[in-house]
Amino acid sequence: MNLNGVILPVITPFINDKFDAESYKQLLKHYSDKDFSAIIPCATTGETSVLSDYERDEIFDITVSNVEKPIYFGIGGNHTSEVINKLSFVEKYDVEGILSVCPYYNKPSQKGIFEHFLKISENTTKDIIIYNIPYRTGVNLSNETLLRLAECKNIIGVKDSCGDISQSLELIRNKPENFSVLTGEDILFYTNIVNGGDGGILASSHLFTEDFTDIYKNVKNNDHKSALEIWNRLSTIIPNLFIEPNPAPLKYILNQQGLIKRPELRLPLVEISDELKEKIKIVGLK
């Protein structure tokens, strides 16, 4: 079965620049009965780049102890050997796999990206979701390269944030039967699933969980009218969550809702502006 539906890339709460384990457990409890297909800690929305190895281990322990859904940990980087070394964090847990971003900053060729993920595939028994997000990494994983990687048994899907809708639709048309194309662009969730994609890894599903899962179910049941009614309302709100860097707007709202103690982020990310706070009130996100 393909990985499909709505997947939560859960935030990492902080308090006084330390991982807030109590708030994190509260979040996991809050989402435990929601209809997510999987949960991903330590992804971009989880501010993985500013977490220590000790914190990552603690997050893994708490997640595995409190989540009964499939779990994919965020494990990526631009030094292939170091990424392989980090797999030891995951191999000791009974979880499904990892979400691994394309190598960033050093801008490898398509051959380099292919070899990077091939080495990761060869060094883990876990499933791998590749994350293609060129506006963060500086390099776009081509569909040709991705489909070659899809031939690896444990590379099961992609979080597609390529930024080119024609590339995304071409990928959906040509994807193998057992390979999942999951959008990482929240605003393209509806477009993904009505064109034959498999769902999304969606930061905004922290807030609109039932809406996203209802849209997915309705499309799969061929009730496109109901799905579109929900989507037309949701699609006017989602862009407000990304006016300033994710997950700052999310953390502000989750704090307002009492789900986390503080809306704190780690530098270089900062809390949202007063202007965005006012906008969030106006559109009814608060």
Q: pLDDT tens for residues 93-114?
A: 989 999 999 999 999 999 999 9
Output the average pLDDT for the chain: 96
Given the structure tokens 């030891």, which residue do they identify?
A: 88
pLDDT (tens digit, 9 = 90+) per residue, 16-53? 999 999 999 999 999 999 999 999 999 999 999 999 99
> In 29-68, which positions are buried (b, 16+ CB within 10 angstroms) versus exposed (e)?
eebeebebbbbbbbbbbbbbeebeeebbeebbebbbebbe
Span between the terminal Cα atoms of the chain, in Å: 37
Looking at residue 137, what is its pLDDT?
Answer: 97
As a whole number, mean pLDDT of residues 198-204 equals 98
Q: Which of 200, 266, 196, 283 is nearest to 51 (CA)?
A: 266
What does the alpha-carbon distance between residue 70 and residue 155 come to, in Å, rounded to a whole number?
16
Residue 239, CB half-sphere, CA atoms under 13 Å: how many? 4
Cα 81 off chain centre by = 23
Looking at residue 109, what is its pLDDT?
Answer: 98
**What amino acid occupies position 34?**
K
Looking at residue 1, what is its pLDDT?
Answer: 66
Looking at residue 196, what is its pLDDT?
Answer: 97
User: What Cα–Cα distance (Å) separates residue 223 from each residue in 47, 183, 186, 214, 216?
Assistant: 36, 21, 21, 10, 10
Domain boundaries, the chain: 5-223
The residue count for the chain: 286
Q: Which of 77, 86, 156 is nearest to 113 (CA)?
A: 77
Looking at residue 51, what is its pLDDT?
Answer: 97
Kindly report the pTM of this predicted structure: 0.96
Known catalytic residues are 131, 159
Looking at residue 286, what is its pLDDT?
Answer: 60
Give the percent of the chain with pLDDT over 90: 95
Is residue 165 within 8 A of residue 193, CB to CB? The reply is no
Looking at residue 47, what is its pLDDT?
Answer: 98
Looking at residue 282, what is its pLDDT?
Answer: 82
pLDDT (tens digit, 9 = 90+) per residue, 221-245? 999 999 999 999 999 999 999 999 9
Q: How many CB atoms lie within 10 A of CB 122?
A: 10
pLDDT higher than 80, residue 260: yes
For 235-284, strand residue ranges (E) read none
pLDDT higher than 80, residue 285: no
Architecture of domain 5-223: Alpha-Beta Barrel (3.20)
**What amino acid occupies position 130?**
I
**What amino acid occupies position 173?**
R
Is residue 31 within 8 A of residue 185, CB to CB? The reply is no
Looking at residue 284, what is its pLDDT?
Answer: 72
